[in-house]
Structure 1
């Protein structure tokens, strides 16, 4: 459980706007916004530009609320890990109570106003996403099981479904497919990070796969998930959200991603330590491009389809 005794008020007057904004995890929020936007435009039902804009804004606010609540809960382990110790709460610039209040307020605001702006199916999905990320992943899974990022990764996979629901008022196989693409991408993405940041998770007592089963098992899992992901990603090219542009991107990127996973799988610990986990770092950076490029290609296909040029028709 988070330690809210991390000097809740002593440094509050030193907080800057950037500290409060950092609570919202803006880099994660950018992925939420982009994939939700793609889900909205890939849907077969057109949305008024103003409704689409405010809906994406409220989805972003909901994503930011999740980040603030996650930072509130994880303040104790964030203070231990090198990667996170300078976040606003462990650094003493924002109190845990303030982060909790901001997170709850933004969550309620985002969900209610998304429901009013679009529909309550989309709002319900946003509410469930926040609940899943904060309660199911952060509070329960993260500190309990090495499958934390596998199951918990669903939280980051919901935004395209929310965007689709904004447009259509429901869920469809296409939105589930976009969800699955992110869901399968998440484990190899985070396990690559865990390979070269394992000491952080060791120090914090987080049961990441690298900690509980070792680096060799983690490398095996990365390769296995990457193979399944490649099959899914390329197969998506032949569905209604795919097309020639998407398929071209998917084939190239998945070939590179598979090569990266094989490079990681072939390594031993002595090699990894000697070169500072260069292959793992390269794979992690590629994984960031991977997801944005796939959803960017879906967005292009959606744009082309508006003019009767997209897909395989």
Structure 2
């Protein structure tokens, strides 16, 4: 990270700037997948403790976001997508972001350990460490595998939610982890294709920069193919059932068709139409993950009513 004093202040930070510091879009995914992980678990938590657990998982996700913005401020300022974030824009000082990130990390881990259990607290602590240190500090600027390995950080929340309820890790929670882990590369690489020069300008070795755009298109196809059986596997466990499996089949078919289209796209044609296909696949990838977890939640409701499962 470059000198934390290089960012000029452009006025006092408002409440909204501190909210943005916690990456609310990412936090919303963390909250949702953690909540589903908690609700599909075979052990039911006290509702108050469940709400508190999800709140502290969200704070942990926000802590990761603040620490990431502190560390990445020097490259965020070079990218169109990130230059208006609170730290590179100068609205929040880098040292302040660091202090907020560390404070929220300690509070979220300690409180989750108290309201849920030590296993959940330890998983949250490891998730924050993995995102802030392993991904942000060690992987992001050194290897094109940054998204592949770093995707684990975003995959832990449903496992943490499951651990809040059960106090352990299981095949079911690992499959929810694997679903997000395998989904992350094609999701972010499709974004990288239409962000054009952002990553090269920032010196981030994204696959589009190190291996080229044609190779990135092949990788999107390969990972989408590998993702399909992972997502289907959960349908044959205690958290799955016909509703989930039918949803997964349809969603994977659509995602695979999108990945196929990206793979066979000519770069000149893609640029000429403003990367319309790549943008459409990226947007669908968000829906893909959301609907998988909605289907898991639907199965949990049906199970509770004695109607779900195999």
Fold match, TM over 0.5?
A: yes
Q: Is the 8 A contact 1:111 1:126 kept in 2?
A: yes
Q: Which runs of 4+ in 1 moved over 6 A?
A: none
In the alignment, the residues of structure 2 paired with residue 38 and residue 21 of structure 1 have an alpha-carbon distance, to the nearest angstrom, of 24
The 3-state SS of whatever aligns with 2:3 is: coil
Distance 1:185 1:7 in 2: 35
- Contact 2:134 2:150 (C-alpha < 8 Å) held by counterparts: yes
Residues 41-89 of structure 1: per-residue CA shift (max 9 Å, x gap): 1110111100100000000000000000000000000000000000011
- Give per-residue Cα distances to partners, 1:151-181, cap 9 Å, x unaligned: 0000000000000000000100100000000
Q: Distance in 1 between matches of 2:188 and 2:267?
A: 19
In structure 1, distance between residues paired with 2:236 and 2:112: 32
Which residue matches 1:78?
A: 76
Q: TM-score, normalised by structure 1?
A: 0.97
Is the CA contact (8 Å cut-off) linking 1:3 and 1:75 kept in structure 2? no
1:3 aligns with 2:3: yes
Structure 2: where are the runs of 5+ without partners? none
Instruction: Say if 2:61 and 2:128, in contact at 8 Å, map to a contact too.
Output: yes
Query: What is the Cα deviation at residue 198 of structure 1?
Result: 2.9
* Structure 2 partner of 1:212: 210
Matched, 1:238 2:236: yes
Native 8 Å contact 1:210 1:217 kept in 2: yes
Partner of 1:252: 250
Q: Secondary structure at the match of 2:84?
A: coil
Instruction: Answer whether contact 2:7 2:87 (CA < 8 A) is retained.
Output: no
Which of residues 182, 185, 188 is equivalent to 1:187? 185
Superposition map of 1:27-46 within 5 A: 27-46=25-44
* Uncovered stretches (5+) of structure 1, i.e. residues with no partner: none
In 1, the alpha carbon distance for the partners of 2:255 and 2:93 equals 40
Query: In structure 2, how many angstroms separate the alpha carbons of the residues matched to 1:86 and 1:241?
Result: 41
Give the drift of 1:6.
2.9
The TM-score normalised by the length of structure 2 is 0.98
Deviations 1:236-276 (A, max 9, x none): 22222111111121111111100000000011111111111
**SS in structure 1 opposite 2:197?**
helix
In 1, are the aligned partners of 2:38 and 2:158 still within 8 Å (CA)?
yes
Number of the residue aligned with 1:308:
306
CA distance in 1, matches of 2:43, 2:53: 15
Report the Cα distance in structure 1 between the residues aligned to 2:152 and 2:233, rounded to whole angstroms.
20
CA contact (8 A) 2:182 2:223 kept: yes
| Partners of 1:42 and 1:6 in 2: CA distance | 47
Q: State the distance in 2 between where 1:130 and 1:200 align.
A: 26
Matched residue of 1:85: which SS? Answer: coil
Mapping for residues 28-177 of structure 1, pairs under 5 Å: 28-177=26-175
Q: Equivalent residue of 1:299, what SS?
A: helix
RMSD between superposed Cα atoms in Å: 1.0
Deviating more after overlay: 236-245 vs 113-122: 236-245
